[in-house]
Chains A and B, each alone.
Chain A
Amino acid sequence: MAYSFPEEVLEHVFSFLSSDRDRNAVSLVCKSWYDIERWCRRRIFVGNCYAVSPEMVIRRFPELRAVEMKGKPHFADFNLVPEGWGAYAYPWIAAMAEAYPFLEEIKLKRMVVTDDTLELISKSCKNFKLLVLTSCEGFTTDGLASIAANCRHLRELDLRESEVEELSGHWLSHFPDSCTSLVSLNISCLGSEVSFSILERLVARSPNLRTLRLNRAVPLERLANLIRRAPQLVELGTGAYSAEIRSDTFSNLADAFSACKQLKALSGFWDVVPSYLPAMYSVCSGITSLNLSYAAIPSTDLVKLISQCQNLQRLWVMDYIEDSGLDVLAASCKDLQELRVFPSDPFGAEPNVSLTEQGLVSVSEGCPKLESVLYFCRQMSNAALIAIAKNRPNFIRFRLCIIDPQAPDYLTLEPLDAGFGAIVEKCKELRRLSMTGLLTDRVFKYIGSHAKKLEMLSIAFAGDSDLGLHHVLSGCDSLRKLEIRDCPFGDKALLANAAKLETMRSLWMSSCSVSFGACKLLAQKMPRLNVEVIDERGPPDSRPESCSVERVYVYRTVASRQRLDMPDFVWTLDEDSSLRYS
């Protein structure tokens, strides 16, 4: 079909489309557009590494430059996914290294990455620029050394919260002296020391360095020297923020900070000695993001710091801040958009700090732009939740974790259905919700009726019956990810809403009442869903079909349902509907 526009023009037009959704839409217009688009797509996001195969991706998009991928389900963060389940990066990297010699960026989350994988990247992709490994595992500092040594144009190396086996601190020295391209370096997850002089030299020869996140092993005395070499920093993660109290250390540090006119984000702060916090005061007015979630400092010191940060948009802090501190936050930081409060003593029987639902109520009242919350506390009431919902209908993410997962409204002893109901009713733009507390099927009815934009829902120890799950699956139009643990949800709701599951990325259910028979049925009925039964008690067909499975993970896929890397505790349905396991 003859087009009046030459391909190049269309390509140029498409190059302005950055969102995947737009590009996907464009590719559906006609064959010609599909073809043009696929040749000029440079970035791809794969939300579930098993939803598609590397070959399919490569076949469709022959010229990718950036790949972002996620592996294990979210609950893997809390040890609910047994070790060895999967999410290996190597097969993807191996295929892509061959197909995309010009690959520049790789971002992986919750995947198993080996040293071989890293070495392969470093040797195959000559123009490699960016590596972000979030919550990954399986590699050692040797792998990092290959990246450092071979990636001549490396700009970003970000190891967010990954588990790295640290064989030596000398991997940093593998960055050649000629490497001056670093823009971002995040080694905050590493436990052991790195050579400070090497670090200093690396920082000194990286004029474009914007983000530097050190690890705990970098002592405070060294921080001033490092910062001094990089006054252009925008994001800084300190190491341990403690030292003997000495005026020269302090003034060194204060001077170094005051030279950083562009600093916007601060993190790190392990082992804080509060007397050193004022050294940072000169930069506080510019700070928009502050992560004090590892800092065990009393509320008074926290408050002194926070009240200096008038432009704060994001605060992560431990519950040492207490209600009183949150009151001050509410009064001082009117631009606050995101608040996360982590528990300092999550396993203690009694509260160790005075942080209650009141703190959250205050912040919701005082901060008009607050849209994202993660809050750990020990008590909650419907009244508080209703107030919060009224105050802040603009919530996008609301995650509440009460330490006792089935705690009722502590004032009335009723379930917290009404409270969460108010949240979903008032917050029409809510995209993510995690709930805890005593919750019955009623809360799910509210969610099904109101939470039309909800994309991700996490449920634990809640509900009475399948009706609860049914409400969610049938009512939440935008649902993409549903993760459930320890709820009495079973077969009926699942099977009744089988088709819904194909519109979602994934469903996780562990310690629920889903029978093996239902899993088989679901898999038979829905050929484009992979129904993984994850059970460490041996083959499910050695037990009656009505027995519940330990965990089931259902996800849509266009790849084979028999992934080749299944461990022996994962079962999926084979093509001839017999049970297949390794």
Chain B
Amino acid sequence: MSIPQEHDYIGLSEPLPSEKSSDKTTAAATPSSNVGRNGVFSLKETELRLGLPGSEAPERKGGIGIGIGIGVSLYGKDESDCVKSGAKRGFSDAINGAGKWGLSINGGSEVDLGKKGGLNGSSVKQEIQPVEERKNEAAANTAPASKAQVVGWPPIRSFRKNSLATNTPKKEDVGGKSGMGTGCLYVKVSMDGAPYLRKIDLKTYCSYTEISSALEKMFSCFTIGQCGQGLAAKEHISESHLMDLLHGSEYVLTYEDKDGDWMLVGDVPWE
């Protein structure tokens, strides 16, 4: 049941048709003084104005038409601080100051963003910070900002995002990058005969030799028998013998690939 309204859109300032409800609400006049005496709303507050008070609108990419100024959100106490800008909320603006965002920059698909209301809230809060600061950056930044992420963009459901994250990427065949740049890559490491396994973050290492020595250190407690739990073998092995064990042929590093095959570590280039 839409009420036909004739109005000159650009010069919108005439009162909207009064309705029953407006009569009721006149009594409780709101501080914004939008309600006239006869119960009809006037829209002085939202009148179009060309020529904005204060700062310029930030750069826009190829926009056309008149920059009609509409109020922009600002967390400020004083009304005059509410800077009106006609810019569309540019994507580059939104991701400017990537450092302010509480989101992981490295393709946080493993982090289910925004599921926690707090996380969402904090990211939006940061976005709303003083517009002057943002606009200065916008003016300075002609190139598109770095790959920070905007909440909910691209519009992909969490279920799919999570599936992508754990999808084992097919290597060279599909070309190029293997899926998400995740923040860390934990893998399980087990040693034959050890009572429990360990997990290491592959991203913290730069080469096979690094991993090798780190694992040596990690598992040395089992062979020497210094483990707090005291579950390791009680044989008295000298340390040098032990190192021979680790370096030599007794222990080798292998991994199970996605096809389920056991592969020797070191064949594939580190990258």
Contacts and interface: CB of A to CB of B under 8 A. Distances in A.
Chain B: interface size category: 35 or more
B67 A495 contact: no
Interface in A265-313: 270-271, 273, 293-294, 296-298
A492 B70 contact: yes
Contacts of A297: 170, 174
Contacts of A415: 62, 64
A232 to B, nearest CB: 29
Interface stretch (B71-79, B132-140, B184-192, B216-224): B71-79
B71 A490 contact: yes
B237 interface: no
Interface stretch (A35-43, A253-261, A509-517): A509-517
Interface in B1-24: 1-3, 5, 7, 9, 12, 16, 19, 21-22, 24
A271 B181 CA distance: 18
B100 interface: no
B130 interface: no
B48 interface: yes
Contact of B32 (A347, A438, A517, A526): A517
Interface in A186-210: 189
A470 interface: yes
B89 A487 contact: yes
Nearest to B113: A79
Given A461-B88, A503-B1, A577-B25, A78 B153 contact: yes
B152 interface: yes
Nearest to B2: A499
A9 to B, nearest CB: 34
Interface string B127-150: 110000000000000000001011
Given A406-B91, A511-B89, 4 more contacts: A343-B156, A346-B154, A461-B91, A496-B12
A438 B64 CA distance: 11
Interface string B23-46: 011001011101000000101011
A320 B19 CA distance: 57
A547 B2 contact: no
Given A438-B62, A490-B70, A536-B120, A320 B2 contact: no
B21 to A, nearest CB: 5
28 contacts: A75-B152, A83-B116, A243-B260, A294-B167, A344-B164, A350-B176, A351-B176, A353-B174, A376-B154, A414-B62, A440-B64, A441-B65, A464-B60, A487-B88, A488-B88, A490-B46, A492-B48, A496-B16, A498-B16, A499-B2, A517-B34, A521-B41, A524-B41, A527-B21, A543-B77, A544-B79, A545-B45, A569-B121
B115 interface: yes
Q: Report whether over half of chain A's contact residues are helix, strand or loop; otherwise say mixed.
A: loop
B160 to A, nearest CB: 7
B168 A296 contact: yes
Given A463-B88, A547-B75, A342 B1 contact: no
Contacts of A271: 167-168, 258
Contacts of B68: 464-467
A342 B117 contact: no
A270 B117 contact: no
Nearest to B79: A544
Contacts of B127: 511
Nearest to B20: A527
A63 interface: no
Interface stretch (A96-104, A113-121, A125-133, A397-405): A397-405
Interface string B149-189: 11111111111110110011110011111011100000000
B114 interface: yes
B259 interface: yes
Nearest to B93: A486
B259 A244 contact: yes
Interface in B182-236: none
A242 interface: yes
Nearest to B66: A465
B61 interface: yes
A537 interface: yes
Contact of A79 (B28, B120, B168, B173): B120
B154 A403 contact: yes
A517 B152 CA distance: 27
Contacts of B61: 406, 408, 438
Chain A's interface size range is 35 or more
Nearest to B180: A347
A15 interface: no
A420 B132 CA distance: 34
A577 B30 contact: yes
Given A464-B64, A496-B5, A518-B46, A242 B259 contact: yes
B78 to A, nearest CB: 8
Max count, chain A CB within 10 A of own CB: residue among B30, B73, B117: B73
Contact of B155 (A78, A466, A526): A78
Contacts of B179: 296, 344-345
Nearest to B114: A79
Contact of B76 (A77, A517, A543): A543
Given A242-B258, A344-B164, A495-B43, A513 B152 contact: no
Contacts of B154: 343, 346, 376, 401, 403, 405
Most buried by B among A245, A271, A464, A576: A464
Nearest to B120: A82
A84 interface: yes
A142 interface: no
